[in-house]
Structure 1
Amino acid sequence: MDFSPSRIEAQVLAFCRQAGLFLHGEKNGPLRVAAAVSGGADSMALLRLLWALRADLGLELTACHINHGLRGAAADRDEAFVRAVCADLGVELRVFRAAELGPIPPHPGEDWARALRYRCFETLHAEGIDWVTTAHTVTDQAETLLFRLARGAGLHGAAGIRPARDFYARPLLCLTRAQTEAYCQAVGQGWVTDETNLTDAYARNRLRRYALPALRSANGAAEENLARFCEKAARADAYFAREARRLLAGALAPGALPGAEAYRLEVLRQADPLILEAAIHRLTASVRDPEEKYIRLLCGLVERGSGAVQLRPEVRARAERGLFWLEKARPRRAEMPPEPGWCVPFDPARQAEYPLPGGYRLHTRLFEPTFQEKTQVVHKKDLKNQADYARITMLHPALVVRSRRPGDFFRPAGRGVRKSLRKWMNEAAIPSEERDRLPLLADGSEILWVYGAGFADGLAPDETGGTILLLEPEKREEV
């Protein structure tokens, strides 16, 4: 493969034109484009490629760097490195420091860091930047596809990272990570390495370090083939999106209440299942990240014709009287718990507290154990409510908090057996009046956590560390 700078520059230029990136539209003069530069090989290749192609693409290049403040001296080293390179190239640089933007949470994770970056990008756009470019590559596309499939993505998620979205552009989605490193070496551009990318603490790192090399050993073009699949999935998703719009327009019920959307269930049920999934995705995209678990729950609502799913504390979907509603919940008290036969999507990275029926409340916490936390004595009640979060997300992508259902089964911790939940409740002498109200964490019919009993067998954290999920339930008297 030709890794020469001129060849790679021509490849990126052709991709930008094919994908319609950096179109002038109605704007007079060059577009203002900011390259998001972390200091790693991919982002340095992005900076140097856009700098080399700035005249061909008709853009005025700037750069931005976000110092998350999580890696101490290493983060300051990366910032200084980016400052020096931008000064040498004569590229204006905007640096954002997390400590200057607001309080850093006690246990900041990847989700917090990503949200911070996009807040900074939105600030740039509001200040006049036309496009913010990120250094996503073919390798990132392959990792994203594998990660989303493991979590339970649908067709929309399988389409991966798009070349453009809103004011974001990804001009390196035609290059592999090997090509970005080769380009940096060829033009004499160094880079820094984020040491957290070399650990196995994050699921994405494990995919990068083990899954992709295994696929490359089977086929040297594995990354390109996975990325090509994403392109085909994106085209298919666009087709289903058009059909979904037609379906929703035909199913829209007249006379919906203010603040609510209502669709006729009989029309939705007649649709092809894939088009129905696309329609549900379209309805929920503005409410929350429409992962496959939410799509499955809502398609089940359409099929049953009754019930409710809480999407956000203030938004729920409901099926009743021949209609499928997406509405703002009308709380009976300060917060609206789900109704009998309830089911709530579980996402501790985005929601830390769940008010539930029967006076129950569930608090969640994700944390990386410190040395002190690993060695100190842990109360038995807390220990049984801790689990390996990476293991849960890899094995159980469709988690919900709900009441019991026929067919549920549970594997009590430390016993190595599988029991029907009904039989286990009998053995545990749980009062019959509490059984339908007891909060459960479930993936399908498999119960992973039971209030009062803790997590199922095989989910406890081990000595290797990693992110821990802690559930802290409480029981209050109902008003």
Structure 2
Amino acid sequence: MLFKFQKHLSENLPFLREKKLLLAISGGIDSIVLAQLLRQSGYAVSLAHCNFNLRGSESDGDEQFVRNFAAENNLEVFVTHFDTERFAQDNKLSIQLAARQLRYIWFHQLLEENNLDFILTAHHLDDNLETFLINFTRGTGLEGLTGIPVQNDKIVRPLLKFSREEIQNFASENKIEWREDSSNASDKYLRNKLRHDIVPILKSLNSSFLNSFQDTLSHLNQSKSLAEDASVLVYKQVVTEKENQKFFRLFDLKRLPNYEAYLFEWLRPFGFTAWKDISNLTEAQSGKFILSDKFRLLKDRDFLILEPILEKDERIYEIEDDAGIDFPIKLKLETVFQSDKTSNPAAIYVDKEKLKFPLTVRKWQEGDYFCPAGIDGKKKVSKYFKDEKFSLSEKENTWLLVSDQEIVWIIGKRQDRRFYSKNNTTPILKIALL
């Protein structure tokens, strides 16, 4: 296995040579074997061990074993302790996901603080198969069936070509000692159930099953590459980008065969994973939306609009007499002698004596109303938004200029007639949106 490993690194991961490597080591057979292979191949490697405090004295025994291994082989070792259960509870995560987040945050900190180049993990071919089956049983797209990547930015997995059997044989032949994690024998987790019950059956049906699986992964990754190329070309025909928003034209989108697949591929990098919800949104009424952690996908008439979720600004900003304001929007106040009769939505002319300072700038609230020109009485701001076909994001980003609880201006859109200046008005105040 040593020669095969060295050949694999030379042909497929040549960039690791002469780099400073950080190996995630648990004390189990996979990471210990990888450490030995790297050491015997002349790579500069440091070790990083996480004590998750989940198995009592067994976790402490793993830590001491790794410390001893590092000392015996003259390797630098970093060790940290986590209160994994508390972190999982506080962040509403499973124990497995909590442990994963904790260790990778720490690994990347170690890279930065110690000027190291790459994180190495000991994932192998059987791990890849189990991950494939987990995704398959839960339902997934092509992305979930292409396996664990050999490299993901700073994370590299040199053992992905090697089976668990090869690793065990190498350990046996070289009399390598390791720690056995008792949780691996439990069927509490889906991965272990697949490992103990399903994978042996699959291997018994085909003696070359793992080789066939590798070939399948290769084919799927090639198909994925073709799909990604097509996705880039079609994207330009369907999507318009404006500032921090992406507009998906539904007419052009629905003309595509299998348009849901394109849409899912474009949205997946933004954290959207629910195929059915995304597909249903294309037929939903305007105003409906779905959310990922950081983005919103909104149906607005003939478009789907992708935009970041912004924290709603509920604050009220005051404007003193003629002072103007620079944040959250920029308004300039200027006393003038006459109104400009040209239509300009970015400026209004008001009777200054009808204003009560300080003026305020705020977002609209339920129940707000104003008195627009051309109609008798008043009109709810929400009704104005609906009549003008404002999208949800346009509503959220519209500011009001208010005087003593009365709306003076839906800024940049519509002025309230109660504050109009007349020919004989003195003084006239010009309020301009810059």
Please indicate, yes or no, whether the TM-score normalized by the shorter chain is above 0.5.
Answer: yes
Which residues of structure 2 form unaligned runs of 5+?
315-434
**Structure 2 residue aligned with 1:355:** none
Equivalent position amino acid for 1:72 in 2: G
**How far, CA to CA, are the matches of 1:134 and 1:330 in structure 2?**
36
**Structure 1 residue aligned with 2:194:** 207
**Structure 2 residue aligned with 1:12:** 5
**Structure 2 residue aligned with 1:136:** 123
Count of aligned residue pairs for this structure pair = 310
C-alpha displacement of 1:332: 7.9
Structure 2 contact 85–95 (Cα < 8 Å) conserved: no
What secondary structure does 1:253 align onto? strand
Q: 1:263 aligns with which of 223, 237, 248?
A: 248
**How far, CA to CA, are the matches of 1:15 and 1:296 in structure 2?**
41
Q: 2:292 aligns with which of 303, 312, 331?
A: 312
1:40-439 superposed matches below 5 A: 40-54=28-42, 59-99=43-83, 104-106=87-89, 109-127=95-113, 128-253=115-240, 256=242, 258-273=243-258, 276-285=260-269, 287-288=270-271, 290-291=272-273, 294-302=274-282, 308-312=288-292, 314-329=294-309
Equivalent position amino acid for 1:146 in 2: L
Question: Would the alpha carbon gap of residues 235 and 211 (structure 1) be closer, same or farther in structure 2, given more than 3 Å must change?
Answer: same
Question: Would the alpha carbon gap of residues 266 and 23 (structure 1) be closer, same or farther in structure 2, given more than 3 Å must change?
Answer: farther
Structure 1 contact 34–132 (Cα < 8 Å) conserved: yes
C-alpha displacement of 1:271: 3.0
Q: Deviations over 1:204-260 (max 9, x none)?
A: 110111010111111122233223312221221122112212222222225x3x432
C-alpha displacement of 1:297: 2.4
C-alpha displacement of 1:182: 1.0
C-alpha displacement of 1:83: 1.1
What secondary structure does 2:298 align onto? strand
What secondary structure does 1:63 align onto? strand
Structure 1 contact 261–325 (Cα < 8 Å) conserved: yes
**How far, CA to CA, are the matches of 1:35 and 1:76 in structure 2?**
19
Q: Deviations over 1:371-391 (max 9, x none)?
A: xxxxxxxxxxxxxxxxxxxxx
C-alpha displacement of 1:312: 3.0
Which residues of structure 1 form unaligned runs of 5+?
1-7, 25-29, 335-479
Q: Deviations over 1:165-203 (max 9, x none)?
A: 101111101110011111112222111111111111111
Structure 1 contact 260–325 (Cα < 8 Å) conserved: yes
TM-score (norm 2): 0.66
C-alpha displacement of 1:328: 3.2
Equivalent position amino acid for 1:50 in 2: L
Question: Would the alpha carbon gap of residues 156 and 192 (structure 1) be closer, same or farther in structure 2, given more than 3 Å must change?
Answer: same
Structure 1 contact 262–324 (Cα < 8 Å) conserved: yes
Question: Would the alpha carbon gap of residues 175 and 46 (structure 1) be closer, same or farther in structure 2, given more than 3 Å must change?
Answer: same
**Structure 2 residue aligned with 1:403:** none
**How far, CA to CA, are the matches of 2:25 and 2:293 in structure 1?**
36
Over alpha carbons, which structure has the higher Rg?
Answer: 2
Structure 2 contact 23–120 (Cα < 8 Å) conserved: yes
Q: Which has the higher contact order (CA 8 A, sep 6+)?
A: 1
Q: Deviations over 1:386-434 (max 9, x none)?
A: xxxxxxxxxxxxxxxxxxxxxxxxxxxxxxxxxxxxxxxxxxxxxxxxx
Equivalent position amino acid for 2:163 in 1: T
Q: Deviations over 1:2-25 (max 9, x none)?
A: xxxxxx12222233344345357x
Q: Deviations over 1:331-353 (max 9, x none)?
A: 8898xxxxxxxxxxxxxxxxxxx
What secondary structure does 1:31 align onto? coil
**How far, CA to CA, are the matches of 1:308 and 1:136 in structure 2?**
42
1:452-471 superposed matches below 5 A: none
Question: Would the alpha carbon gap of residues 105 and 300 (structure 1) be closer, same or farther in structure 2, given more than 3 Å must change?
Answer: closer
Query: Sequence identity, in percent?
Result: 26
C-alpha displacement of 1:305: 7.7
What secondary structure does 1:39 align onto? coil
Structure 1 contact 277–299 (Cα < 8 Å) conserved: no
**How far, CA to CA, are the matches of 1:97 and 1:180 in structure 2?**
28
Structure 2 contact 22–111 (Cα < 8 Å) conserved: no
Equivalent position amino acid for 1:297 in 2: D
**Structure 1 residue aligned with 2:420:** none
